[in-house]
Chains A and B, each alone.
Chain A
C-alpha cells in the first residue's frame, strides 16, 4: 500500500507507533518531501477522524490518540521544516482561563491545530489575563484561543478579552473561545470573534481566519 495512505490510516486509527514508523519510512527511505507527508499523510488522516468525530462515529479516545499519532509523527518532520522553512498556517496562543483547571479539550485543540500547521503556544491551565497579555506581546499571535469548562469560569474569558483591549492588543488578532458552556450567544456577549463546538471545527474556523 502507498506509504502516505498508510500514514493517514494510522493517524486516523490512533496507531501512534505505526504512524511514526511509516513517517520515518516515507521521509528517510522513500525520500518523500516532508510537505507531502504532512498534507497527504498526516493531515489527511486527521481530517477523516475529525469528520467521524463530528458525526458521532468516533469519540474522545479515538480523537485524542489520532491527535497524538499526528503530533508525534509531525515531530519527525520538524527538523526538515526547520531547515527548509516551516509551513506555518499562523500562530496561536492558547490556554484555559483563570480559575479553571480543565485541559483535555484544550489539549485536543492544540494537537489538532499543530497538526494543521499552526504554531501553537500553550500556556496551560488557570491562566490569568495578565499572563495571556504577556504571551500575546511576546508571540504576536494571529489567534488567541481561550478554553473553559464551567459557566462561572467562562466569565474569565471576558476579563481576558478586556485585558487585551486595555493593552491595545485586541485588534491585532482573532479570538476563538471553546468549552462545554460556550455557544454563539456567549461568544457574541463577550465579543469574541468566534467559537467552535469541537476541536475539528475549531481548526476549520482558525483556518478561515488565516
Chain B
C-alpha cells in the first residue's frame, strides 16, 4: 500500500465511513444478510473486469487485488474450485484453444488503441452445431469428467479467507454450474434457440450430459472445501434486456428439475445458493424460489421488470438479492450524482430486514471511469449503514 498524500486523501472517505459503521467480520455481516437479518451495514460484493481492478489499484495506490478488496470493504471472497489437471486444452492452427467442453475459443480485442481497450475470450466454433442426432451427441468424445480435476488444494485456498470472509464457490465463467450456457457453447446460441423450439430430443440429450457432469462434480468440490464455503453460485443467462429469453413453460419443461437438483445438492452441504442471470427474469422468480433458490444475483436495473424496489416488495420475504447496480448506463456514462442516487435508491429499497448484498449487476467494464467506481464504493459505505 503506497502512502503518498494523494492516495491517503483518496482513501480517506471510505476509511472514515468504515471505521464508523463496521462492528462485525465480513462473514458475520453476510450471514446475517443472507438469513434476512440486519447487520452493521449492507454487505458488499465486487465484480470487476481485470482492467478495472488494475485501474482501481493504481487510483488508490494499492499493490494487490487482496489489498484492493480489503480497502474497499468487500465482504465476499470468491473461490474458483479445484485445479484442472486433465489433458492439456488443444490449441488449433488458427490460434483457437479448446475449453473444458471442447469448444474452441479465441481472444477478441475490442476498443483497439483506445483507453477502453480490452479482451474477451469468445466462442469461435461450436462442435455440435451441425450434429443431427442424439447418437452423434452421445458419441461426442470431449464430454468432460470430474476426474479431470485435482480437489486437494480447495480447502487450503479457502483457508486464506475462511472464517473471516464469506466464501463464495463461484467457479470460472467458462465452467460455472449451468444448463443453458454450456449448451449454447456446444451447439451455438442460435441453434440452441432453434432446438428449444423444434428439437426437444437434442435439447434433453445435451442438457442431460451437462447436468450429469455438474451433479457428479459439485459434491466433490463442496466436500473438498471442508465446510469453508458459505454459498454456492450457479449461473445461466435466462434473461434478455426486455424479457426472459424463454418462457416459463419452456423453463419448467427443460431446466426446472436440474435447477432443483443443483440447489438440493448444495443445501445438503449446508450451503446457500446464489443464481446469476442477466436481464429480465421476473416471470421466472416464483419458480426459482419454489425450486430452492436462496439468492438472486444481477438485478440488472435497465432490464424490464427488474426494479429492485418491486422485487424486494414482491419476493423479499423468500429470496435475498445480490446486485442492482447498473453497469450499462449509470457507471460508464453517468455523473457522480447519478451513481450516488442509484446506490441510495437500492439501499432504501432493499436493505430493510437484511436480504441484500450490494454489488454491480455484472462486472464493471473498462468503459467506466475510475472516479465513478470510487463514488460507487463511497456511496456503498455512506448509504449502507443500519
Q: How far is the CB of A141 from chain B (nearest CB, A)?
A: 24
Mask: chain A, 148-180; 1 = CB below 8 Å from B; 0 = not: 001111011000000000000000000000001
Q: A151 and B118 in contact (CB under 8 A), knowing A62-B197, A64-B194, A99-B109?
A: no
Complex Cα–Cα for A151 and B116 (A): 10
B329 touches A186 (CB 8 A): yes
In the complex, the chain A residue whose C-beta lies closest to that of B111 is A152
Q: A181 and B328 in contact (CB under 8 A), knowing A14-B198, A56-B244, A189-B333?
A: yes
Q: How far is the CB of B238 from chain A (nearest CB, A)?
A: 10
A60 touches B194 (CB 8 A): no
| Chain A hits for B332, CB < 8 A | 151
Those of A22-79 within 8 Å (CB) of chain B: 53, 56, 58-62, 64-65, 68
A126 close to B (CB within 8 Å)? yes
B218 close to A (CB within 8 Å)? no
B108 touches A151 (CB 8 A): no
Mask: chain A, 120-148; 1 = CB below 8 Å from B; 0 = not: 00000010000000000000000000000
B111 touches A197 (CB 8 A): no
Most buried by A among B110, B243, B279, B365: B110
B193 touches A61 (CB 8 A): yes
Those of B341-372 within 8 Å (CB) of chain A: 365-367
| Chain B hits for A183, CB < 8 A | 302, 329
Mask: chain B, 316-330; 1 = CB below 8 Å from A; 0 = not: 000000000001110
| Chain B hits for A126, CB < 8 A | 108
| Chain B hits for A62, CB < 8 A | 197
In the complex, the chain B residue whose C-beta lies closest to that of A14 is B197
A185 close to B (CB within 8 Å)? yes
Complex Cα–Cα for A58 and B111 (A): 35
Q: How far is the CB of A17 from chain B (nearest CB, A)?
A: 10
Q: A152 and B365 in contact (CB under 8 A), knowing A68-B194, A101-B122?
A: yes
Q: How far is the CB of B66 from chain A (nearest CB, A)?
A: 26
Name which of B75-83, B165-173, B245-253 contacts chain A. Answer: B245-253
B283 touches A56 (CB 8 A): yes
In the complex, the chain A residue whose C-beta lies closest to that of B283 is A56
Complex Cα–Cα for A102 and B110 (A): 13
A152 touches B328 (CB 8 A): no
Complex Cα–Cα for A56 and B246 (A): 9
Complex Cα–Cα for A71 and B283 (A): 31
Complex Cα–Cα for A101 and B110 (A): 10
| Chain A hits for B366, CB < 8 A | 152
B244 touches A152 (CB 8 A): no
A193 close to B (CB within 8 Å)? no
Complex Cα–Cα for A155 and B365 (A): 12
Q: How many of chain B's residues have a CB under 8 angstroms from any CB in A?
A: 38
Complex Cα–Cα for A53 and B244 (A): 10
Most buried by A among B243, B327, B365: B243
Complex Cα–Cα for A169 and B124 (A): 33
A107 close to B (CB within 8 Å)? yes
Complex Cα–Cα for A64 and B327 (A): 28
B193 touches A104 (CB 8 A): yes
A64 touches B193 (CB 8 A): yes
A104 touches B333 (CB 8 A): no
Q: A180 and B194 in contact (CB under 8 A), knowing A151-B332, A152-B367, A186-B333?
A: no
Q: How far is the CB of B20 from chain A (nearest CB, A)?
A: 34
Complex Cα–Cα for A153 and B194 (A): 27
Q: How far is the CB of A62 from chain B (nearest CB, A)?
A: 6
In the complex, the chain A residue whose C-beta lies closest to that of B247 is A59
A65 touches B194 (CB 8 A): yes
B197 touches A156 (CB 8 A): no
| Chain B hits for A153, CB < 8 A | 110-111
A12 close to B (CB within 8 Å)? no
Complex partner residue of B118 from A16, A60, A152, A181, CB under 8 angstroms: A152
B116 touches A152 (CB 8 A): yes
| Chain B hits for A104, CB < 8 A | 189-190, 193
| Chain A hits for B190, CB < 8 A | 64, 103-104, 107
| Chain B hits for A64, CB < 8 A | 190, 193-194, 197
Q: How far is the CB of B119 from chain A (nearest CB, A)?
A: 9
B241 close to A (CB within 8 Å)? yes
| Chain A hits for B198, CB < 8 A | 14, 16, 65
Most buried by B among A53, A98, A100, A153: A153
Complex Cα–Cα for A152 and B327 (A): 11
B111 touches A155 (CB 8 A): yes
Q: How far is the CB of B203 from chain A (nearest CB, A)?
A: 10
B110 touches A61 (CB 8 A): no
B194 touches A197 (CB 8 A): no
Q: Which residues of B contact A (CB under 8 A)?
A: 108-112, 114, 116, 118, 120, 122, 124, 189-190, 193-194, 196-198, 240-247, 250, 279, 283, 302, 327-329, 332-333, 365-367
Can you list 29 contacts pairing A with B, beta carbon distance less than 8 Å?
A16-B198, A53-B243, A56-B244, A59-B245, A59-B250, A60-B245, A61-B246, A64-B190, A64-B193, A64-B197, A65-B193, A65-B194, A99-B108, A99-B109, A99-B112, A100-B108, A101-B108, A150-B120, A152-B110, A152-B367, A155-B111, A155-B114, A155-B116, A156-B111, A180-B240, A181-B241, A181-B328, A183-B302, A186-B333
Which 10 pairs across A and B sit closest by C-beta, in order of nearness?
A99-B110, A61-B197, A61-B196, A65-B197, A180-B241, A152-B367, A61-B193, A181-B328, A56-B243, A153-B110
